[in-house]
Structure 1
Amino acid sequence: MNCIKNAKIITMDKDRRIIDRGYIKWQNGIITEIAEGECGDVNAYDAMGQTLYPGFIDAHTHLGLTTNGVGEESEDFNEESEPCTPHMHIIDGINPFDISFSEALKAGITSAVVSPGSANAVAGDIALVSTHGRRIDKMLLRTVGVKFAMGENPKMIYSGKEQTPYTRQAIAAIIREALNKAKRYMQDKQKALEEDEDEPEYDIKNEALIPLLQKKVKAHFHCHRADDIFTAIRIANEFDLDYVLIHCTDGHLIADELKEEGAYAVCGPLLCDRCKPELANLTPENPALLDKAGVCVSICTDHSETPIQYLPLTAAVAVKNGLPHDRAIEAITINPAKAVGADDIIGSLEAGKNADMVLFEGDPLDIYQSPKLVVAGGEAFGES
């Protein structure tokens, strides 16, 4: 199959087009055509008037880093040996045979951002992956960021080991030290190239941070409390980094400030309790209040905190608490694509983008609804 016809198509492109009765074609996993009318392909899948959306995107997960049903042996999301580990490659820890991948795909989630945990002030790189596949190298869509963690988690982990950081000041200092070293290392490499001199001795940690300093990837800051959010922004501005605020639990308290900064907020998990002091201000109204202020909002499950297949349910909770329905769909399609810098390949249905899409008979945020068809990278699943 490489064509769907007779579909109501929610494009999520910049014009937010809705095609009442149209078709979409793809080849080699890439969308080639999307238009109103008949496609003329007798082998096309007949959507019979059902609604086609871009494949859903979970903007922040630990998918495949802790395999369901295995326990501690499979936990590979936190390297707790030292607080600064930017050189860790996340794909070396992802297990694509974890059942959570297939559960995500069945729910219409065609791609997910997989991040290290928040034990370390500087934790390693972040991958955007397809939820379909067996080999993570082929599932990798691109590396999108470097993980940083503010606040309680690094403090709790390392103070228990009687080593830094004990305080928020120390967390920020560790991050600044790493970025300053990488900046000088990058400048020394450039100077050596220009003046035909020997390059500085290879440093794997500094090398790992160069793409961030060059704005090829973004800084993903784990931050709940308002003061931690502002520290993340302060550091990002100091080093001229593109950044994303992960969790952003207190965002609703400072929404006007985040709008002024042009920040991207990834909210979630929403289906959880207030299990630690930083979550005291947790509210399911957070996405709605941030959106109302003009902040670009994405919704995440933080899998496995909330199982990834409940991403649409999480978006529904946000709608119940004030987020407009169309904005909730944006928060699990085009907004996360923009937030992580991948809206050139995913997040909307447009020619030239990945053939990731999901077909629903009813409201995709209705708990009783399941996709009738999921297409990931041009491959169809659940065909009925």
Structure 2
Amino acid sequence: MLAVINGFVKTMSGEDLQNGQIIIEDGKIKAVGTNLEIPDDAQIIDAAGLLVTPGLVDGHCHIGMWEEGIGFEGEDGNEDVEPITPQLRAIDAINPMDMGFQDAIEGGVTTAVTGPGSANVIGGTFLAMKTYGKRVDDMVIKDPVAMKIAFGENPKRVYNEQHKSPVTRMAIAAMLRETLYEAKQYMEDLEASAEDPDRKPDFDLKLDALLPVMKKQIPLKAHVHRADDIFTALRIAKEFDLDITLDHCTEGHLIPEELAAAGKPCLIGPTFGSRTKVELKNKSFETPKVLMDAGLKVAIITDSNVIPIQHINMCAGMAVKAGLAEDEAWKSITIYPAEINGINSRVGSIEEGKDADIAIFKGNPLLDIDYETMMTIIDGKIVYKNKKANILNSL
């Protein structure tokens, strides 16, 4: 049992707590508040003068899929020889021994939503996972969490180099539509076969992988930068009555009224980087504020390894500098990505019954360049302790 006491606690679920207390038992948050009765057998973490937050959540990254410090041998995020690959699963490629996970922990990032890249029109499934562990199966929060699709420059470039379709935005949309239509027919035939066995289709791994999308159990996770690609993604999702998230959404600030009317969640980033391609020419740290002001739910993401995952705080901090309210910036890297990815019952805020994922900072990581992570707790276990920290005590 652990008890975090005396810190300034940002719960993300209500009021901040001065001299807040968190009691942790069996990997879960047992109680949070002030003036709690601390159990005699609790190990005390004295966070006096420190900031206590939920573990940070990166709502879109590729951690474990492109391993740090390794070339081709550790690149497992794009099966870029076939544009339609919904049957691929991130869980089969993630290496939790990759040093990027230690970077995440030392940055207070306790949850990562990770998956395939954007070479393919349909790339496969993302999952949500904790950033600490040896076996990915034991780290999973939710799998699958979304089906990756991609529009625009990336699939065009990849398949143009191979001299095969898609090389235009028309072909990207047409391939996606064709596959979704086939998945819809496959689902309908499966359902009808309960009463008419002759309708039962032959098993198809690709179409079967799309059933959770067609049943709206998980959303499409759309790689979209330009406004026209954003609108194409929304158009197709509406045609098939599917849920969708708009990931990257680089030109979202140019079309806030239209996005507000669509009402789909937006995951913004990686803004903290250079304009490496034409689709990024309009990127801006103002995008989160503009879209939140329009009433949309927004998460800020690193797209790691594009931006190192431990610097998600800097991405949120630059959005604050561009006008986003600090509390909203905090939520954009905690509770909002958890809600967008359907894992908010477990992570994203400090609430009774949720997973005991806690980050403790000296200074404010959104505002202070010299902040430090003092401790990271995942599932009630201290997984990182700063050598400078002297905050473990006993009653």
SS in structure 2 of the partner of residue 372 of structure 1: strand
**Residues 248 and 268 of structure 2 are in contact (CA less than 8 Å); yes or no, is this contact kept in structure 1?**
yes
Matched, 1:351 2:352: yes
Give the distance between the partners of 1:240 and 1:2, measured in 2 at CA. 46
CA positional deviation for 1:360: 1.9
Residue type of the alignment partner of 1:17:
E
Paired residue for 2:131? Answer: 131
Deviations 1:119-177 (A, max 9, x none): 00000000111110111111111121000000111111112111110111110111111
CA distance in 2, matches of 1:135, 1:165: 36
Partner in structure 2 of residue 34 of structure 1: 32
1:59-93 CA-partner distances (Å, limit 9, x unpaired): 11110111111112211110011000000011111
Match of 2:50 in 1: 50
For structure 1, the residue ranges without an aligned partner over 5 or more in a row are none
Residues 291-339 of structure 1: CA distance to partner in whole angstroms, max 9, x if unpaired? 2222211111111111111111111111111111111101100111111
User: Could you tell me whether the CA contact under 8 Å between 1:5 and 1:39 is conserved in 2?
Assistant: no
SS of the residue corresponding to residue 177 of structure 1 reads: helix
Cα distance in structure 2, aligned partners of 1:111 and 1:134: 15
Q: Deviations over 1:5-38 (max 9, x none)?
A: 223221111xx22222232122222222212213
Match of 1:159 in 2: 160
CA distance in structure 2 between the partners assigned to 1:48 and 1:19 by the alignment: 12
In structure 2, give the amino acid aligned to 1:336: P
Counterpart residue identity of residue 37, structure 1: N
Q: Check the 8 A contact 1:291/1:297 in 2, yes or no.
A: yes
Specify the SS of the correspondent of 1:382: strand
- Uncovered stretches (5+) of structure 2, i.e. residues with no partner: 390-395
Q: Output the TM-score relative to the length of structure 1.
A: 0.96
1:21 to 19, 38, 41: 19
Residue 244 of structure 1 corresponds to: 245
Matching residue of 1:70: 70
Aligned length: 382
> RMSD of aligned C-alpha atoms?
1.4
Aligned position for 1:218: 219
1:1-384 alignment, distance < 5 Å: 1-13=1-13, 16-42=14-40, 43-143=43-143, 144-195=145-196, 199-365=200-366, 366-383=368-385, 384=389
User: Which segment drifts farther, 104-113 or 281-290?
Assistant: 281-290
Q: TM-score, normalised by structure 2?
A: 0.93
Q: SS state of the match for residue 351, structure 1?
A: coil
CA distance in 2, matches of 1:200, 1:25: 53
> Any idea what SS the aligned residue of 1:44 has?
strand
What residue identity is the alignment partner of 1:166?
A: V
Cα gap change, 1:302 to 1:25, in 2 (>3 Å):
same
Q: Using the TM superposition, give the Cα deviation of residue 361 of structure 1 relative to its aligned residue in structure 2, in angstroms.
A: 2.9
Distance 1:173 1:374 in 2: 46
The amino acid that maps onto 2:20 is: G
Cα distance, 1:196 vs. partner? 5.1
Give 1:194 shift. Answer: 3.3
Indicate the SS of the match to 2:247: strand
**Counterpart secondary structure, 2:76:** coil
How many percent identity over aligned positions? 42
Aligned mates of 1:213, 1:28 — CA distance in 2: 37
